[in-house]
Amino acid sequence: QRSTLFPYTTLFRSVGKIDELEKALGQMPDGNLCIGHTRWATHGGVTQENAHPHLSCDGKISLVHNGIVENWRELRSGLDDHNFLSETDTEVLVHLIEKNYHGDLRLAVAEALRQVRGTYGIAVVHADHPDELVTARFGSPIVIGVAQEEYFVASDATPLLPYTNQVVFLNDGELVLLKRKGMEMTTLGLDHLKIETQNLDWSLSQAEKNGHEHFMKKEIFEEPEALMNAISGRIDLKNGTARLGGLNLSESEMRQIRRVIFIGCGTALYAARVGKYAFERLAQIPTEVEIASEFRYMDPIIDEHTLVFALSQSGETADTLAAMREAKRRGAIVRGIVNTIGSTIAREAGGGTYIHAGPELAVASTKAFINMAAVAVLYALMFGRNRSLSMATGVRVVTALMELPEKIKKILAESEHIQSVADKYAHYHNMYFLGRGVNYATALEASLKLKEVSYIHSEAYPGGEMKHGPIALLSTDFPVFAIATRNQLFDKTVSNIAEARARKAPIIALVSEDEKDFTAADDVIFVPRTMELFEPILNTVATQLFAYYVAVKLGRDVDRPRNLAKSVTVE
Ligand code: M6R
């Protein structure tokens, strides 16, 4: 609601989705400077009082904050004479700035931030300085978009694309004063720093829906081209290998690697499982996949022979970044597999590979999964060929990879059928996804996608695990989606389907296209055959479409599901 409490500032806040705020705003008020923030609640309830911006007692200073102020209690105890109106950790920041303000906003912000422990990406304005905005970062990303006589401040580069390709990424401990004419970058000690502007190699049309109803659908349909972009120039068919310059390791250094660890969150984590499978198969290197938010607090056994890959679409995920820093601190060689160019993980990784999926705007990650998995396999292939993998096998892997974009197109052409299956199952409240071997990654990703866009409860299990407990839930109203493409575990999967059917669970099966006489399921989705290693890539295209159409059938806000953020920049 519009607030009349503060005489100098027009303040609008609302709970829930951005549409609510748009309603409250009505027409955009006049002005040349504006800050706003969709806050993912960390301290205090989801209420209007806790929504950002927060204001100083005199109402002149407004601030938005992404991150967490860890020492807020301690700081608040020194601000007894200030009037707090929210339960947030953030509000302490604006009062601290007010306490330190003596006519110079930048100085006050720097003073205040020097006392803060925790993470922040902030934007601050003052009613007496209508042409100034101060932004600073520590632990939470800040990127400044530089357009014609305009600046934009955001936590992720992608939303800036409609306005500009010129961006400045802030590093931790950097502060920028944006003025009507120009900007100045300093440290928190106000030592001046050189500003480096980067060009984002993404076009505006990539950030538009281009006739699709939702970004999610558009991004799924971009997968053939996105995958081509990830592999082109990086494969060597003749020698059956890959060439990824960003690894920055010599052949002998590559041979010193004894262990590989993949870290990531959500979809990136499941793409990493494909990497594990590939590294163990092709390069015979023991490989683990670790949840970044756990890894950062574990006692991982790491040495200079450990290679850690951090996977991230946004390149800004706080948990992945922290885990990556921890791995570095412990002496591992760290590399990034990242989509967003210039993002923090990309900058800090010390090397790695961009997946070139193009901007991903839907909250649900789709094309990034495909490209991350493909790049992880390319790394495995490169390490394999550097060791004992035969050229013939290498050539087979590269050939299979090159065929994938066309095969993805075939799945996309089946979208109407997938939609009809999705329509049939959209009314269920639960679903299991079963997948064995490398397709356990497919099942995990399929389950995540379904739950985040449709809000249907789902879980993923390797088929063999069902009898150890999960099967207890199966009944006529608890369907099973089985990933049953033809591979070494096909017969086992078919047995798992039979077990579920015996408990009267409705069954959908994802089956290789040459199994036309497959009768073990109620509904079948066919996908082209590929090498087992690449099955998660093809199979996931089908499960993404399934999740998408279920969400559409249920009338969900597909691109912006409730409670989720595109870049999770807080712990
Ligand atoms: O940007 P990242 O790849 O690091 O993001 C990781 C997860 O937050 C992300 O994959 C999330 O799980 C998506 N909502 C999945 O669709």
Query: For the residues 316-321, what does the mean pLDDT come to?
Result: 95
Ligand 1 atom closest to residue 366's alpha carbon, by position in its atom list: 16
Cα–Cα distance, 260 to 535 (Å, whole number): 22
Q: How far is the CA of 365 from the centre of ligand 1 (A)?
A: 6
pLDDT confidence tier of residue 568, bands split at 50, 70 and 90: confident
Cα–Cα distance, 196 to 200 (Å, whole number): 13
Pick the residue with more confidence: 232 or 571?
232
Distance from the Cα of residue 504 to its chain's centroid: 37
Cα–Cα distance, 387 to 254 (Å, whole number): 9
Q: How far is the CA of 313 from the centre of ligand 1 (A)?
A: 7
CA dihedral over 202, 204, 206, 207, signed as positive or negative:
positive
Best residue for ligand 1 mutational test, from 290, 313, 321 (most atoms within 8 Å of Cβ) = 313
- The edge-to-edge listing of strands for the beta sheet with 143-147 is 150-154, 143-147, 166-169, 198-199
pLDDT confidence tier of residue 3, bands split at 50, 70 and 90: low
Q: Which of 535, 468, 474 is nearest to 507 (CA)?
A: 474
Ligand 1 atom closest to residue 363's alpha carbon, by position in its atom list: 14
Q: Cis peptide leading into 7, omega within 30 of 0?
A: no
Ligand 1 atom closest to residue 364's alpha carbon, by position in its atom list: 16
Distance from the Cα of residue 17 to its chain's centroid: 20
Whole-model pTM? 0.86
Indicate whether residue 561 lines ligand 1 (CB < 6 A).
Answer: no
Indicate whether residue 313 lines ligand 1 (CB < 6 A).
Answer: yes
Condensed to tens digits (0 to 9), the pLDDT of residues 482-525 reads: 999 999 999 999 999 999 999 999 999 999 999 988 999 999 99
Ligand 1 atom closest to residue 340's alpha carbon, by position in its atom list: 1
Burial 135-150 (b: 16+ CB within 10 A, else e): bbbbbbbbbbbbeeee
Indicate whether residue 158 lines ligand 1 (CB < 6 A).
Answer: no
Condensed to tens digits (0 to 9), the pLDDT of residues 172-205 reads: 999 999 998 899 999 999 999 999 999 988 887 7
pLDDT at 480 over 70: yes
Q: What is the pLDDT of residue 9?
A: 75
Q: How far is the CA of 465 from the centre of ligand 1 (A)?
A: 26
Rounded alpha-carbon distances, angstroms, from residue 65 to 118, 252, 368, 522: 12, 46, 28, 50
Residue corresponding to tokens 């039979």: 498
pLDDT confidence tier of residue 206, bands split at 50, 70 and 90: confident
Q: What is the pLDDT of residue 5?
A: 59
Q: Which of 340, 327, 335 is nearest to 310 (CA)?
A: 335
pLDDT at 28 over 80: no
Best residue for ligand 1 mutational test, from 216, 296, 314 (most atoms within 8 Å of Cβ) = 314
Q: Under 8 Å CB-to-CB from 212, ≥6 apart: which residues?
A: 218, 221
Q: What is the pLDDT of residue 2?
A: 55
Condensed to tens digits (0 to 9), the pLDDT of residues 353-407 reads: 999 999 999 999 999 999 999 999 999 999 999 999 999 999 999 999 999 999 9
Crossing angle of helices 367-386 and 223-231, in 10° steps, is 30
Residue nearest to atom 7 of ligand 1 (CA): 266
